[in-house]
């Protein structure tokens, strides 16, 4: 899958590049996942499978984010579709569902023509901060373990959208300097979070 991540973040004033200049962290110890053993008559791999939820609402208490989740896919030119406003976020619906094994991706704008957008403070997240996803009948909590800002041309699509053996959530927004020729910022701020088991 070849996707241009989040085309079209706005604003010519470059406060975003300053705010995201020195971000980045990762947890050094591995994520622990408790999986109940499968019944002896079942294939053991079934004990590792999880079902997820279609996300309707996102909360990030540490940075006071609350947003509706749009369900989007890919644009006509092969780019990941992004919200049509600066208040909502979008879930990449052709990918993994939050809560199932694999990386579920949610995108939001960092800024717009008139100023800050929903993920304006995403770079302020810290190790262990919670991200809450609400579906129709269930709520899932994820904890942040890694943040990085990577050049757009070097963003590893397989890493961002790929399979993992445990449920993960990826938050993505624009960062870095605004590139007027491309009509977007030069980097992407990517936050990885792991499901908190009940």
The residues that are catalytic are 109, 174
| Helical (H) or strand (E) element with 106 | strand 102-107
Identify the CA nearest to 163 among candidates 108, 106, 105. 105
Within 49-114, strands assigned E span 57-60, 65-72, 89-92, 102-107, 111-112
Which residue is associated with the tokens 């990030």?
60
| Helical (H) or strand (E) element with 175 | strand 167-179
Percentages of the chain per state (helix, strand, coil), in multiples of 5 = 10, 35, 50
Distance of CA 138 to the CA centre of its chain: 19
Say whether 123 sits in a helix, a strand or coil: helix
Q: Where are the alpha helices (DSSP H) in the chain?
A: 15-19, 157-161
């Amino acid at each position: 899958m070849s996707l241009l991540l989040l085309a079209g973040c706005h604003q010519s004033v470059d406060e975003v590049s300053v705010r995201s200049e020195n971000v980045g962290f990762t947890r050094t110890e591995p994520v622990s996942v408790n999986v109940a053993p499968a019944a002896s008559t079942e294939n053991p791999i079934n004990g590792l499978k999880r079902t997820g939820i279609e996300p309707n609402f996102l909360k990030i208490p540490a940075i006071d984010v609350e947003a509706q989740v749009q369900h989007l896919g890919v644009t006509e030119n092969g780019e990941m579709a992004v919200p049509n406003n600066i208040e909502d976020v979008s879930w990449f619906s052709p990918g993994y569902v939050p809560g199932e094994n694999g990386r579920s991706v949610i995108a939001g704008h960092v800024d717009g023509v008139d100023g800050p957008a929903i993920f304006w403070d995403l770079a302020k997240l810290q190790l262990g901060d919670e991200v809450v996803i609400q579906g129709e009948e269930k709520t899932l909590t994820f904890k942040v373990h890694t943040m990085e800002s990577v050049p757009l041309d070097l963003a590893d699509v397989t890493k961002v959208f790929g399979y993992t053996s445990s449920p993960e959530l990826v938050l993505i927004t624009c960062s870095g300097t605004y590139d007027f020729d491309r009509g977007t910022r030069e980097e992407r701020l990517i936050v990885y979070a792991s499901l908190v088991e009940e």
